[in-house]
C-alpha cells in the first residue's frame, strides 16, 4: 500500500477533530487515534468536548460530542486552534463544528446520515452538502459511512442496528489511512475489549476499521494522505494521562511519600468526579475514599481525617468550593494540613458545567469570612497535575495549612504523553512526628516556618482540644482582642512565609524589555506557543508562568518592573491581573476570555502585538 501514495502531503503537526452524535462513539475513536499517534513517537494533546447531557436526543445539536487530537512535533502543547481535519458523522456535528475547521481543511462527511430527519434535527433548512460554498472553502470528502459499514459487515450475523454501531471504527479506519497510522494497537484494543464478552463485536469492529482503511486507498474516492513530521520526545517511559488521572496519582504518590494513608472526602461534581472515581479503585494503596452526602460533609471528613493524621484531601469544582468555604476557614484556624482540589468549570452557579474557565481564583483566594489565608497553586498541563498535587500536599503538611490546588475542565479531561517519573525521584514530604514525652503546646510554632506542632489522637499524653474558636498559644479558648490580632497575623505570616520555600518560575525570554506575559494554570500551553512563535519572529516578548498564586514567589514584583508592559491572559474577566495590580502597584493589562474554551494561539499573538 504505502508504495502507491500519490497525494502525500507533509505537515509539522496536525489537528484532527472527530465529531458525531454522543451515541456515535467519538470519544472512543478520538482516544484510540491519540494512542496510535503517541506510539509513533508523536507529541499529542487531546481535548474531549462532550455535551453536558450524555443522553441528549440523538442527532440533536446539544447531543454533539467531539474529540480533538493535536499531534506531531514535540512542541505540541495545546489541542490546537482550528482543526486541519474534521470528521463529521451527522448534520448536527457539521453544524456545531464547521467553524472549528481551518479554511481548506479536510472535511470527511458521513453522507449517509444526512437524511431529511437528521437535517431537521440539526435545524438545517437545506442540505448543506448541496451548497457549493462548502466545497470551495474546504476539501470535502463525502463518504456514505453508514452504507459502507453495513456493506462491509453484511456477512456477519448481526442486526443492522448493531452493524451501525461499528461506523465509528469505519471512520477511524479512513482517518488512519489519511494520516498513515498503524492499525495494530486499535485492533488489539478491540480484541481486548470485545473478544471475551462479545466476540461478534470484536470481529465486526475490526472489520469495519480495516474496511475503512481500505476505502481510504480506494481510487474512486479521492482522499488525500499526509505524512506528519514527527519530532521524537526525549528518551523515557511514557503513558498518556489526563489531568484528573495525574491528580489522583499525584495524591497517591504524596501519601506514599509522606508515610500517611490517603483519605479523600468528596461529592461527585463535573469535572472533578473522575479523581474520586480513580482513587476509589486503589484500595490496595490504603486509599480511603468516602463519597460524602454533600461537599460540606466531604471537607468535614477530610478535616477529621487530617486531625487523625491522614493525608487529607477533598476534590470538587467551583459550586462545591462555595459550600466548603466555612469548613475551609475551620481548617485555617485549626491549622490542619488539607489539600483541596478545585477543578474549575464555567460559572457562576451551574454555568457551563462541562466547559473550562479560570474564574474561581478570587473565590479561592478571598472567598471566606475573616482573615483566612490559604495557600493556592495551579497546575499548567495534564501531566503537571501530578507534580502539582505533590507540591500541594508538601506545603499542606509542612506548613499545617489548607492548600487549594486549581485545575480546570481543560486540564482535567485533556491528555498528553507523560514521562513516567521514577518513584525514587519523587520527593519525600514526610514531617517529623511528635516525640513521646515532648512538651506539647498546641499552637507553639516553628520559628522558621511558623507551623504549629501536631499531635494526633491516640498518642498518650497529648490530649488537647482544637476548634473554630480563637485560641491562645497553649490551646485555650480566648476572646482576648490582642491575642486574636496576634493569631491572625501569625497565620497570615505563616502563609506569606511559604514564599521562602518556593522558586520564581523560569523566565522564557529576556529579563527586561517591552512586554512581559504572566500566565497561570491551564493557559500555559497556549501562551507558551504564542510567545515562542513571536520570539522566533524576533519580537521582544518574555513569559513567566506562575505555579504559586498565594503566596506569590519572591522576585515577581521586581521582574514586572523591568518591562514596559505586563499583560495577563486569563480565562476570566481579570482575576490575577487584579491581584498583581493590588500587590505590586503595576498597571497590569488583562486579556480575557470566558467562552468556555481555551485561548487560541493566534488570538494571543494578536492580543500581545497590541502592546508591542
The residues in 544-563 that bind another protein, with binding defined as CB under 8 A, are none
Tell whether residue 300 is a contact of another protein (CB under 8 A): yes
Nearer to another protein, 193 or 514 (CB): 193
**CA 3 – CA 22 distance, rounded (Å):** 37
Burial 407-439 (b: 16+ CB within 10 A, else e): bbbbbbbbbbbbeebeeeebeebebeeeeeeee
Tell whether residue 265 is a contact of another protein (CB under 8 A): yes
Tell whether residue 541 is a contact of another protein (CB under 8 A): no
Q: Which of 261, 473, 539, 583 binds another protein (CB under 8 A)?
A: 261
Q: Are strands 139-143 and 311-316 parallel, antiparallel or unpaired?
A: unpaired
Nearer to another protein, 35 or 570 (CB): 35
Among candidate residues 512, 452, 489, the one with its CA nearest the CA of residue 370: 489
Nearer to another protein, 133 or 161 (CB): 161
**CA 328 – CA 403 distance, rounded (Å):** 10
At its nearest, how many Å lie between another protein and the CB of residue 499?
29
Tell whether residue 476 is a contact of another protein (CB under 8 A): yes
Residue 59 near residue 50, CB atoms below 8 Å: no
**CA 34 – CA 16 distance, rounded (Å):** 10
Task: Please report, as residue ranges, which positions from 151 to 180 form the binding site for another protein (by CB under 8 A).
Answer: 155, 157, 159, 161-162, 165
Nearer to another protein, 24 or 100 (CB): 24
Tell whether residue 313 is a contact of another protein (CB under 8 A): no
Tell whether residue 380 is a contact of another protein (CB under 8 A): no
**CA 286 – CA 304 distance, rounded (Å):** 17
Tell whether residue 422 is a contact of another protein (CB under 8 A): yes
At its nearest, how many Å lie between another protein and the CB of residue 240?
8
Take residue 482 and report the three cell numbers written for it.
490582642
Residue 246 near residue 252, CB atoms below 8 Å: no
Nearer to another protein, 203 or 570 (CB): 203
Nearer to another protein, 139 or 193 (CB): 193
Q: The sheet that has 402-408: what strands, in order across it?
A: 288-291, 262-266, 311-316, 338-344, 402-408, 375-378, 548-550
Tell whether residue 235 is a contact of another protein (CB under 8 A): yes
Nearer to another protein, 126 or 479 (CB): 479
Tell whether residue 216 is a contact of another protein (CB under 8 A): no
Q: Which stretch binds another protein (CB under 8 A): 466-474, 558-566, 581-589, 590-598?
A: 466-474
Q: What is the 3-state secondary structure (H, E, C) of 578-607?
A: HHHHHHHCCCCEEEECCCCCCCCHHHHHHH
Q: Hey, what's the torsion of the CAs at 145, 151, 153, 157, to 10 degrees? A: 130
Tell whether residue 25 is a contact of another protein (CB under 8 A): yes
Q: Among positive and negative, which fits the CA dihedral 69, 70, 76, 82?
A: negative
Q: Which of 11, 139, 142, 193 binds another protein (CB under 8 A)?
A: 193
Among candidate residues 231, 516, 190, 579, the one with its CA nearest the CA of residue 378: 579
Among candidate residues 376, 397, 372, the one with its CA nearest the CA of residue 388: 376
Residue 299 near residue 328, CB atoms below 8 Å: yes
Site string for another protein, 329-348 (x = CB under 8 A): xx---x--------------
Q: Which of 252, 361, 527, 531 binds another protein (CB under 8 A)?
A: 252
At its nearest, how many Å lie between another protein and the CB of residue 91?
19
Tell whether residue 192 is a contact of another protein (CB under 8 A): yes
Q: Which of 128, 224, 304, 513 binds another protein (CB under 8 A)?
A: 304
Q: What are the backbone angles phi and psi of residue 120, rounded to the nearest 5°?
A: -65, -45
At its nearest, how many Å lie between another protein and the CB of residue 580?
33
Secondary structure of residue 175 in the 3-state scheme = helix
Task: Please report, as residue ranges, which positions from 267 to 296 form the binding site for another protein (by CB under 8 A).
Answer: 282-286, 288, 290, 292-294, 296
Q: Are strands 541-546 and 311-316 parallel, antiparallel or unpaired?
A: unpaired
Q: Which stretch binds another protein (CB under 8 A): 91-99, 236-244, 362-370, 403-411?
A: 236-244
At its nearest, how many Å lie between another protein and the CB of residue 308?
4
Burial 140-152 (b: 16+ CB within 10 A, else e): ebbbebbebbbeb
Computed on alpha carbons and rounded to an integer, the radius of gyration of the chain in Å comes to: 27
At its nearest, how many Å lie between another protein and the CB of residue 552?
30
Tell whether residue 200 is a contact of another protein (CB under 8 A): yes
Q: How far is CA 96 from CA 93, 135, 355, 375, in A?
A: 5, 18, 15, 40
Nearer to another protein, 65 or 572 (CB): 65
Q: Which of 61, 322, 420, 488 binds another protein (CB under 8 A)?
A: 420
State which H helix or E strand residue 390 sits in. helix 384-399
Q: Which of 94, 106, 202, 541 binds another protein (CB under 8 A)?
A: 202
Tell whether residue 582 is a contact of another protein (CB under 8 A): no
Q: What is the 3-state secondary structure (H, E, C) of 247-275?
A: HHHHHHHHHHCCCCCEEEEECCCCCCHHH
**CA 48 – CA 32 distance, rounded (Å):** 12
Tell whether residue 131 is a contact of another protein (CB under 8 A): no
Q: What is the 3-state secondary structure (H, E, C) of 534-554?
A: HHHCCCCEEEEEECEEECCCC
Nearer to another protein, 199 or 503 (CB): 199
Q: Which of 43, 45, 48, 228 binds another protein (CB under 8 A)?
A: 48
**CA 595 – CA 593 distance, rounded (Å):** 6
Q: Which stretch binds another protein (CB under 8 A): 80-88, 120-128, 197-205, 595-603?
A: 197-205
Total residues contacting another protein by CB under 8 A comes to: 111
Task: Please report, as residue ranges, which positions from 435 to 464 form the binding site for another protein (by CB under 8 A).
Answer: 456-464
Q: Which of 183, 275, 323, 412 binds another protein (CB under 8 A)?
A: 183
Nearer to another protein, 98 or 201 (CB): 201
Tell whether residue 226 is a contact of another protein (CB under 8 A): no
Tell whether residue 492 is a contact of another protein (CB under 8 A): no
At its nearest, how many Å lie between another protein and the CB of residue 422?
7
Tell whether residue 41 is a contact of another protein (CB under 8 A): yes
Tell whether residue 319 is a contact of another protein (CB under 8 A): no
Amino acid at each position: 500500500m504505502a508504495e502507491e501514495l500519490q497525494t502525500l502531503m507533509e505537515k509539522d503537526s496536525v489537528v484532527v477533530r472527530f465529531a458525531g452524535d454522543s451515541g456515535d462513539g467519538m470519544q472512543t475513536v478520538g482516544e484510540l487515534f491519540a494512542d496510535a499517534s503517541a506510539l509513533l513517537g508523536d507529541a499529542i494533546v487531546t481535548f474531549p468536548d462532550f455535551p453536558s447531557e450524555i443522553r441528549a436526543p440523538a442527532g440533536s445539536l446539544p447531543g454533539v460530542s467531539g474529540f480533538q487530537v493535536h499531534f506531531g512535533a514535540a512542541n505540541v502543547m495545546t489541542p490546537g486552534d482550528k482543526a486541519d481535519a474534521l470528521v463529521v458523522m451527522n448534520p448536527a456535528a457539521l453544524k456545531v463544528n464547521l467553524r472549528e475547521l481551518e479554511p481548506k481543511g479536510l472535511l470527511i462527511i458521513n453522507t449517509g446520515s444526512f437524511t431529511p430527519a437528521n437535517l431537521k434535527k440539526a435545524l438545517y433548512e437545506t442540505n448543506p452538502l448541496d451548497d457549493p460554498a462548502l466545497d470551495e472553502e474546504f476539501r470535502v470528502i463525502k463518504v456514505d459511512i453508514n452504507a459502507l459499514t453495513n456493506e462491509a459487515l453484511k456477512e456477519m450475523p448481526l442486526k443492522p442496528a448493531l452493524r451501525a454501531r461499528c461506523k465509528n471504527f469505519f471512520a477511524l479506519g479512513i482517518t488512519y489511512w489519511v494520516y498513515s497510522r498503524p492499525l495494530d494497537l486499535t485492533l488489539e484494543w478491540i480484541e481486548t475489549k470485545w473478544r471475551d464478552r462479545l466476540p461478534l463485536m470484536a470481529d465486526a469492529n475490526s472489520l469495519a476499521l480495516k474496511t475503512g482503511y481500505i476505502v481510504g486507498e480506494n481510487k474512486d474516492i479521492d482522499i488525500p494522505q499526509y505524512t506528519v513530521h514527527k519530532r521524537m520526545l526525549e528518551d523515557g517511559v511514557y503513558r498518556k494521562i489526563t489531568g484528573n488521572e495525574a491528580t489522583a496519582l499525584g495524591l497517591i504518590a504524596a501519601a506514599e511519600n509522606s508515610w500517611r494513608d490517603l483519605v479523600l472526602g468528596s461529592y461527585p461534581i463535573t469535572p472533578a468526579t473522575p479523581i474520586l472515581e480513580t482513587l476509589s479503585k486503589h484500595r490496595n494503596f490504603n486509599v480511603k475514599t468516602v463519597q460524602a452526602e454533600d461537599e460540606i460533609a466531604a471537607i468535614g471528613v477530610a478535616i477529621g481525617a487530617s486531625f487523625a493524621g491522614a493525608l487529607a484531601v477533598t476534590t470538587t469544582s467551583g459550586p462545591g468550593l462555595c459550600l466548603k468555604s466555612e469548613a475551609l476557614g475551620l481548617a485555617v484556624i485549626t491549622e490542619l494540613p488539607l489539600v483541596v482540589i478545585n477543578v474549575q468549570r464555567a460559572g457562576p452557579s451551574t454555568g457551563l458545567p462541562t466547559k473550562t474557565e479560570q474564574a474561581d481564583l478570587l473565590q479561592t483566594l478571598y472567598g471566606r469570612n475573616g482573615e483566612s489565608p490559604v495557600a493556592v497553586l495551579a497546575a499548567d498541563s495534564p501531566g503537571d497535575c501530578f507534580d502539582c498535587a505533590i507540591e500541594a500536599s508538601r506545603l499542606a503538611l509542612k506548613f499545617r495549612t489548607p492548600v487549594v490546588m486549581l485545575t480546570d475542565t481543560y486540564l482535567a479531561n485533556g491528555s498528553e504523553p507523560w514521562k513516567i517519573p521514577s518513584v525514587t525521584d519523587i520527593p519525600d514530604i514526610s514531617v517529623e512526628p511528635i516525640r513521646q514525652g515532648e512538651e506539647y503546646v498546641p499552637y507553639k510554632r516553628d520559628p522558621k516556618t511558623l507551623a504549629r506542632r501536631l499531635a494526633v489522637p491516640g498518642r498518650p499524653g497529648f490530649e488537647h482540644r482544637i476548634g473554630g474558636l480563637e485560641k491562645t498559644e497553649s490551646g485555650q479558648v480566648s476572646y482576648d482582642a490582642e491575642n486574636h490580632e496576634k493569631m491572625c497575623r501569625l497565620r497570615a505570616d505563616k502563609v506569606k512565609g511559604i514564599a521562602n520555600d518556593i522558586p520564581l518560575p523560569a523566565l522564557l525570554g529576556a529579563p527586561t524589555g517591552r512586554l512581559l506575559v504572566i500566565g497561570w494554570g491551564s493557559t500555559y500551553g497556549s501562551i507558551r506557543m504564542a510567545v515562542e512563535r513571536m520570539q522566533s519572529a524576533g519580537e521582544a516578548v518574555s513569559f513567566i508562568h506562575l505555579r504559586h498564586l498565594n503566596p506569590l514567589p519572591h522576585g515577581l514584583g521586581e521582574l514586572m518592573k523591568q518591562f514596559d508592559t505586563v499583560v495577563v491572559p486569563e480565562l476570566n474577566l481579570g482575576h490575577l491581573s487584579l491581584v498583581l495590580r493590588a500587590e505590586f502597584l503595576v498597571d497590569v493589562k488583562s486579556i480575557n476570555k470566558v467562552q468556555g474554551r481555551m485561548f487560541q494561539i493566534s488570538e494571543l499573538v494578536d492580543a500581545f502585538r497590541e502592546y508591542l
